[in-house]
Chain A
Amino acid sequence: MAYDKFNIIKSSIVPLPIENVDTDQIIPARFLKATERKGFGDNLFRDWRYNTDNSPKEDFVLNQDKYTGKILVGGKNFGSGSSREHAAWAVYDYGFRCVVSSFFADIFRNNCLNVGVLPVQVSADFLEKIYAETEKDPKAEVEVNLQEQSITIVGTGEKESFDINVYKKENMLNGFDDIDYLLNMKEEITAFAENTPL
């Protein structure tokens, strides 16, 4: 599914300094019953965000007006657990285009790249610096530049580079997805299939 091109995002952030945030927290299983991709943002972090009577939990970051932005900043090992792409959809659908963490779970990272959310892995120190800056000023901005592969805390000018493979980077810059690439390999794949042992 196509998504918006990604180049530079400059935005305040939403801090979620919790480690091992698993995809069951990002989108609980009971919200996976849809047969279309829509409305998942409403249930992003459902059980951390709402009480059982659907009233908002006021201490949760998404319910605090002072924190807004297109960048979600999570603790170490973000997105562990289930392979549900719904988690990445929920993040995107809510309005985030970038997730920053000091460590990502593999499948979640792949899913993000496939749906147009940029996972940016930074050092543990840099992560703490982002949190500290937001603690001082909730509207403090962070700039993520995909072309340059850099992330900058705007207020202090502190900057770190991040990794992404060239292929995925081009895809995100252009809003392409993998299927277009694979469909163009049709004959090569067909020839390969004829020679597999199983």
Chain B
Amino acid sequence: MKTLFDKVWDSHVVRKIENGPDVLFIDRHMVHEVTSPVAFLGIKSRNIGVKHPEKTFATADHNTPTINQHLPVEDPLSAKQLKALEENSNNYGISYWGLGHEKNGIVHVVGPEYGITQPGATIVCGDSHTSTHGAFGAIAFGIGTSEVEMVLATQCIMQPKAKSMRINVNGNLSKGVTPKDVALYVISQLTTSGATGYFIEYAGNVFTDMSMEGRMTVCNLSIEMGARGGMIAPDEKTIAFVKGREFTPTGAAWDKAKAYWDTLYTDEGATFDKELTFNGADIEPMITYGTNPGMGMGIGKDIPNAENLEGGVATYKKSLQYMAFNEGDTMIGKPIDFVFLGSCTNGRIEDFRAFTEIVKGRKKASNVTAWLVPGSHQVETAIKEEGLLDILTEAGFELREPGCSACLAMNDDKVPAGKYAVSTSNRNFEGRQGPGSRTLLASPLVAAAAAVTGKVTDPRELMN
């Protein structure tokens, strides 16, 4: 009796070290400009190469500008980091999708788009949101730069096996409730450290009913409850998504892979170290009010009082003070200044469809600055081809070029100090979107409702 996680993990263990970590073989290594340069310096100083450049994929995303990408990057430090990734990729024979490349985009968006992400694979990247790829039934997790160096050098990593947790969500989701809301709801129930030490499997009809894009949003946010990663067993939807993409196997290799993928499910009777079950019908459109992703609630609720908390009161109060909110405040109607649609969490075509559904026939509020940033060129192209761009333009919105953008504000897309941003990204930490910025995490529907009303608004009021 094995869990899905056990099956994939165990089949990748090269060696078990007694009283130590497992040596795990890595099938796919995604690399970006920020967490790789020191790792490349490391292998250079050891005078060794990249063991499997064909299993390594590099894209530039974290500090790239989202306008005028055809021009030289203005910030000299960003330009230097991008140049370093390009040179390192060229030197070691790694495919590099840099700025302006047709396949460029956020690492966790392009991986699935080109079939690099596959069921049953072990996938790592020097980025905590690598958990996204778990949507395909892969074991995918973020690593540090020392570990990036290990994988470049040996295609292996040393990791203790995580404990297992299954999160079941069953039932029907209400109108206006998206995968992002499901994830923010679960995080609010578990807290930001509730799954630390665990690898999650998401199960139940809410996840099986979701599109692959929705599953990616859910798995992406696994890290925000502390989990190493999250995964969903592959099904027909998964296989259909993977089939025919550039790096997807074909012919005999497909048959071999498919035979492996067909074994990827949790055996009946297999047990988990922890199991939690939630009712999908309890979930409302969510919004966060504090400075970690666990501080979220249904959009119509009031900010909890500190006296109802179990410990952590000082930290809680510090958080609300940063946000300039009070205990008991209602979020609905609070004025906002910025809206960010994008990131590896919600920068896919479905997210742009959802946003467009709300803003269609309406106008962007004059007090709002909106940054609409597709996760990749492929998403950007789809936005144009599906006619979404025309609707967005008509409503007063502009589309920017792909990248991580305001999610972590390494480029110029920074929310100014004291301003409020409704953001479809993944972290509302202090200063995450720019020094002093205040972030309200939400779904693309909630972001759209805020963008056209200029304040926190329940999107259900704007839906037919």
Of A62-70, A132-140, A190-198, which stretch is located at the interface? A190-198
Question: Is the C-beta of B463 less than 8 angstroms from some C-beta in chain A?
Answer: no
Alpha-carbon distance A105/B80, docked complex (angstroms): 31
Comparing A14-22, A143-151, A154-162, the segment that makes contact with chain B is A14-22
A80 CA to B432 CA, complexed, in Å = 13
Cβ of A107 and Cβ of B144 under 8 Å apart? yes
Q: Tell me the minimal C-beta distance from B320 to chain A in angstroms.
A: 14
Interface contact B27-A22, CB-CB below 8 Å = no
CB of A197, distance to nearest CB on chain B (Å): 4
User: Which B residues are in CB contact (< 8 Å) with A25?
Assistant: 429-431
- Residue among A33, A77, A168, A192 facing the most chain B CB atoms (10 A cut-off): A33
Tell me if A28 counts as interface (CB < 8 A to partner B): yes
CB neighbors of B among A14-40 (8 A): 17-20, 22, 24-25, 28-30, 32-37
A41-76: which residues lie under 8 A (CB-CB) from chain B? 47, 52, 75-76
B408 at the interface (CB under 8 A from A): yes
Residues of B within 8 A of A20 (CB): 192-193, 292, 315
Check: B427 CB closer than 8 A to any chain A CB. Answer: yes
Task: Mark interface residues in A124-137 (1 if CB within 8 Å of B CB, else 0).
Answer: 00000000000000
Interface string of A88-108 (1 = CB under 8 A from B): 100000000000000111110
B240 close to chain A: CB less than 8 A: no
| Choice from A29, A103, A166, A197 contacting B19 with Cβ under 8 Å | A166
Q: Which of A1, A77, A181, A185 contacts B226 (CB 8 A)?
A: A77
* Residue of B19, B128, B223, B249 most packed against chain A (CB within 10 A): B128
Q: For the complex formed, measure the closest distance between the CB of A43 and the CB atoms of chain B, giving whole angstroms.
A: 12
Closest to B88 in A: A35
Shortest Cβ gap from A40 to chain B (Å): 11
Report the Cα distance A22→B154, complex, angstroms: 30
B429 contacts A188, C-beta separation under 8 Å: no
- Is the C-beta of B257 less than 8 angstroms from some C-beta in chain A? yes
With known contacts A106-B196, A167-B20, A178–B429 Cβ distance under 8 A: no
Stretch of B41-49, B209-217, B338-346, B369-377 contacting A (4+ beta carbons < 8 Å): B41-49
Q: Which residues of B, 246-264, contact A by the 8 Å Cβ criterion? A: 249, 256-257, 259-260
Per the 8 Å Cβ criterion, residues 107-128 of B in contact with A are 118, 120-121, 126-128
Q: Which residue on chain B has the smallest CB distance to residue A22?
A: B429
A51 to chain B, nearest CB (A): 10
Shortest Cβ distance from A85 into B: residue: B144
Q: Residues 402-414 of chain B: 1 if any A CB is under 8 Å from the residue's CB, otherwise 0?
A: 0000001110000
Contact status A185-B146, CB under 8 Å = no
User: Is B348 positioned at the interface, with any CB of A under 8 Å from its CB?
Assistant: no
Query: Interface with A: B31-39, B297-305, B327-335, which one?
Result: B31-39
In whole angstroms, what is the CA distance A20 to B63 when docked?
A: 26
Contact of B142 among A17, A35, A88, A107 (CB under 8 A): A107
Known A-B contacts A47-B435, A83-B142, A182-B153; the reply to A37 vs B228 at CB < 8 A is no
Q: Do B35 and A85 have beta carbons less than 8 Å apart?
A: yes
B387 within 8 A of A: no
Q: How far apart sit A181 and B17, CA to CA, in the bound complex (Å)?
A: 11
Question: What chain B residues lie within 8 Å of A196 (beta carbons)?
Answer: 12, 25, 27
Q: Could you give 22 example pairs across A and B, Cβ below 8 Å?
A: A17-B314, A24-B429, A30-B410, A32-B410, A47-B436, A80-B193, A81-B429, A82-B128, A82-B408, A82-B427, A83-B126, A105-B193, A105-B226, A107-B128, A110-B159, A111-B146, A165-B21, A178-B147, A182-B23, A185-B23, A188-B15, A197-B259
Q: Please list the residues of chain B having a beta carbon within 8 angstroms of any beta carbon in chain A.
A: 11-12, 14-15, 17-21, 23, 25, 27-28, 34-35, 37-38, 41-42, 46, 48, 51-52, 62-63, 75, 77-78, 80-81, 84, 118, 120-121, 126-128, 130, 142-147, 149-150, 153-156, 158-160, 162, 192-193, 196-197, 223, 226, 228, 249, 256-257, 259-260, 292, 312, 314-315, 318, 408-410, 417, 427, 429-432, 435-436
9 more A-B residue pairs beyond the given contacts A32-B34, A189-B154, with a C-beta to C-beta distance below 8 A: A1-B42, A24-B408, A29-B409, A34-B77, A76-B312, A103-B196, A115-B146, A165-B19, A182-B150
CB-based closest 6 A-B pairs: A167-B20, A85-B144, A83-B142, A114-B146, A111-B144, A166-B19
